[in-house]
Structure 1
């Protein structure tokens, strides 16, 4: 950090990036959403390793520090809304970090309390997205790492289910469930009835096409905890979260998306 946190619309690159992208989407007749790192992700990066050394130079009170993170994020979100954004996705690796015991051991050595962090993350996220325009949708995605077909964290959602699913105020949750690293679907029982869980059952890390019936079976398992109207299907993450991309072809990607559409048409046709 080089000073207290602030937001300047004219200097933030995401505004111009979105305006460029929106023109392309408008020509195709589709909505252009935007994904941004979650406030909790920003907090985690500021407190990672040597980054944390400078926080005390500008913030002696943690409450003020957290409130400022939420404030500048809310200012950014409103600036994006003014630029035409109507759907924002908060990409949030922090919950994946918290449920990975191996990863958390490294954070504990930095003097962080796991319980305090579990309280801080919903605080900054919720205060950043409070009192927004009614036609602005806020979604979130728990990324577990997606660099060049590798991953960063593993573990079930159980330990963070109450804080993340029940207390965070996102409308839709994009969740990775493409392999055993993500655990079972039982934690979905913590989602309130007005929220939606998008099941990332189709991996974006390799080109092997999933068995359709096996995917449908997992959806049926999730139906034990949420009604079908509160469930949806997607790939587990993006095909190219970084410039290197994942290890699969463009043809593989289109086949994956076609499978997602085929399963949605079959499973949700009567809902």
Structure 2
């Protein structure tokens, strides 16, 4: 492994969609227009949001996830063997998982999902079209700055528990995840050949292992949560083990970012920090840190020298703007924890392992959070300006 930091001023991936895009997508979802009529609107919105990111001073560029409905779209909806089921009974959603518990409490009777119905195999690209279109908007020397966000490999496994796959298809979790890991290896290899150098896995599920509510629910149902966390870490490592050294891979952890700023879980990273930072073989961690529900910076004491933590100090849920001086104080406080951690180092070295970002995307689902595009722009500008003061010449 190697120290391969992302950019000092980051954003998590999803950005606020313009109203005209939401309206056109609504027409498409209702069957009023074909995709050929939606696509020019998507392209216009992506062109505008790429221009916005560059004007703000962000070096990492995404398409805002403007072609997606939910942040996790892309993998399992394109994976052979996974089938979209419109009315999955809620009994097949594990109630110990914080987001499914929230949906059940809202009196939902059924929900749609993807279920494994056959042997899993990657027969077509997951994210090639998104990456290729972004390439067309940027000069060749900036292709390396494109960041692709993708679904966590355990997404539907945790959500559906024993219903995740049929026993006649896979005998064990290990068999199931072996095929998933192979699919990710193939996807990453193709993206690398196309010029992709920056991947971010979006994974609220790992943060759910910090939640006492989920641990308690698992114990009550006789589920070994420690084994499950280890299985997921091992799966990630298999997914990314063949990626070249110059492909930066990060994982984003949050506790939910649904409509109106709804979150699903609470709990600091303490429970999983040692494993997260030392056994999960990614280069960087995008960590929610905008409220007390994410806990303190103390777990950062486990961060090894060759990895980076991107501190999500700015909320993407609500409009009020954070204080820049307070943000700087928090970054320096995190650096102190790292410097005096399990593997002591200088404050300067510790600070070099940090970046700053929003705590999550601005639109994990298509409608986005209860802020305006102007609010989002102000927050992204704040992140860039703060990073320039902390790391002069590096932004």
Same fold (TM over 0.5): yes
State the distance in 2 between where 1:23 and 1:249 align.
Answer: 28
Structure 2 residue 145 is matched with structure 1 residue 22: no
Alignment-derived partner of residue 252 in structure 1: 375
Alignment pair present for 1:39 and 2:150: no
Matches within 5 A, 1:114-125: 114-125=225-236
Three-state SS of the structure 2 residue aligned to 1:194 is coil
Cross-structure match for 1:209: 321
Q: Which residue of 2 aligns with 1:151?
A: 263
SS of match in other structure, 2:316: coil
CA contact (8 A) 1:202 1:235 kept: yes
Gaps of 5+ in 1: none
In structure 2, the partner of 1:164 is: 276
Q: How high is the TM-score relative to the length of structure 1? A: 0.90
CA contact (8 A) 1:166 1:192 kept: yes
Check the 8 A contact 2:210/2:271 in 1, yes or no. yes
Counterpart check, 1:6 vs 2:118: no
- Answering whether residue 322 of structure 2 is matched by residue 219 of structure 1, we say no
Aligned to 2:211: 100
Instruction: Give TM-score, length-normalised by structure 2.
Output: 0.63
Distance 1:67 1:28 in 2: 36
Determine the C-alpha separation between the residues in 1 that align with 2:194 and 2:255: 30
1:80 aligns with 2:191: yes
Q: Which runs of 5+ in 2 are unaligned?
A: 1-115, 339-349
Partner Cα distance (1:176, 1:122) in 2: 19
Tell me the distance in 1 between the aligned counterparts of 2:282 and 2:216: 28
Deviation of the 1:138 alpha carbon: 0.8
- Paired residues for 1:122-141 under 5 Å: 122-141=233-252
Bigger CA radius of gyration: 2
Q: How many residues align?
A: 266
Q: 1:15 to 1:270 in 2, by over 3 A?
A: closer
State the Cα RMSD in Å: 2.1
Q: CA deviation at 1:247?
A: 0.7
Q: SS of the residue aligned with 2:250?
A: strand
1: CA distance between counterparts of 2:293 and 2:138? 35
Determine if contact 2:324/2:382 at 8 Å carries over to the other structure.
yes
Q: For the residues of structure 2 that align with 1:110 and 1:70, how far apart are their CA atoms?
A: 27
Give the CA deviation at 1:145. Answer: 1.2
State which of 258, 282, 285 in structure 2 corresponds to 1:173: 285
SS of alignment partner, residue 272 of structure 2:
helix
Choose which of 71, 76, 91 in structure 1 pairs with 2:202: 91
Identify the match of residue 112 of structure 1 among 223, 237, 241. Answer: 223
Quote the offset at 1:131 in angstroms: 2.4
Query: In proportion to residue count, which structure has more helix?
Result: 1
- Structure with higher RCO (Cα < 8 A, 6+ apart): 2
2:390 matches 1:267: yes
Give 1:235's aligned residue.
358
- In the alignment, the residues of structure 2 paired with residue 156 and residue 224 of structure 1 have an alpha-carbon distance, to the nearest angstrom, of 18
C-alpha distance in structure 2 between counterparts of 1:268 and 1:132, whole Å: 29
Cα-to-partner distance string for 1:51-109 (whole Å, 9 max, x where unaligned): 33x33121113332232222221112112222332111111112111111223444445
